[in-house]
Amino acid sequence: MDNGASSYRRFLAGDDSGMVELIRDYKDGLILYLNTLTNNLDDAEELMEDVFFKLAVKKPRFYGKSSFKTWLYAIGHNIAVDYLRRNARISGVPIQDCSSLASNEDVEQNYIKEEQKIMIHKALSHMKPDYQQVICLVFFEEFDIAETARIMHKSKRQISNMLYQAKQSLRRELEKEGYHYAGL
């Protein structure tokens, strides 16, 4: 059982520090993922709060059929979809905060990585929302195909195909900007 599941179990048993650990460990990544759905960082932060509020108040049961993180992100996905339906606005998705730089590298390497990151995020902002989500979940949040499929409510095959198409789309967008990224 991963740390999130044990923290949640401790919270359910009455130890409030379990919820504090969950929020500390998962809030940033969850906000970035929810931002890919809402295209609004403020909304994503509010939805993240709704996710943890749901855990604290409704205390849904975690059955362990997936990792705790996958289960948590699926709850976030469902809350975001409900929010978008209520507000009837589904839009494009810039994901400007999905990755961070290592702080112990030299200044030149940091500058180069920052420029690459800006170029990738700019290219991502021109892609379909589903493509942005799958890239964020697989490459930035490091979910595997099965976990990504659970979160996005799609089959593993659909995610594999979508990931391939998203990488192709990202490559095309980067090439339009004159940048050739060998990693795609």
For 51-62, the pLDDT digits (tens) are: 999 999 999 999
Q: What is the DSSP string of 124-167?
A: HTTS-HHHHHHHIIIIIS---HHHHHHHHT--HHHHHHHHHHHH
Q: Residue 175 pLDDT > 90, yes or no?
A: no
Do residues 29 and 94 lie in contact, with contact meaning Cβ atoms separated by under 8 Å?
A: no
At residue 124, the pLDDT reads: 83
Q: What angle (nearest 5°) sits at the alpha carbon of residue 55, between those of residues 51 and 58?
A: 115
What is the third-level CATH fold of 107-176? Answer: Arc Repressor Mutant, subunit A (1.10.10)
Q: Residue 17 pLDDT > 80, yes or no?
A: yes
Contacts of 53 (CB under 8 A, 6+ apart): none
At residue 39, the pLDDT reads: 84
For 66-108, the pLDDT digits (tens) are: 999 999 999 999 999 999 988 864 444 444 443 333 334 456 6
Q: How confident is the model at residue 1 (pLDDT cuts 50, 70, 90)?
A: very low
Return the closest-CA partner of residue 5 out of 55, 68, 75. Answer: 68
Question: Dmax of the chain from CA atoms?
Answer: 56
For the record, the structure tokens of 62 come out as 């975690």
- With tokens 């403020």, the residue in question is 42
Do residues 161 and 91 lie in contact, with contact meaning Cβ atoms separated by under 8 Å?
A: no
Q: Residue 63 pLDDT > 80, yes or no?
A: yes
Fold: same for 3-87 and 107-176: no
For 147-170, the pLDDT digits (tens) are: 999 999 999 999 999 999 999 998
Q: Residue 2 pLDDT > 80, yes or no?
A: no
CATH 2.60.40.10 fits 3-87, yes or no: no
Q: How confident is the model at residue 112 (pLDDT cuts 50, 70, 90)?
A: low
At residue 110, the pLDDT reads: 62
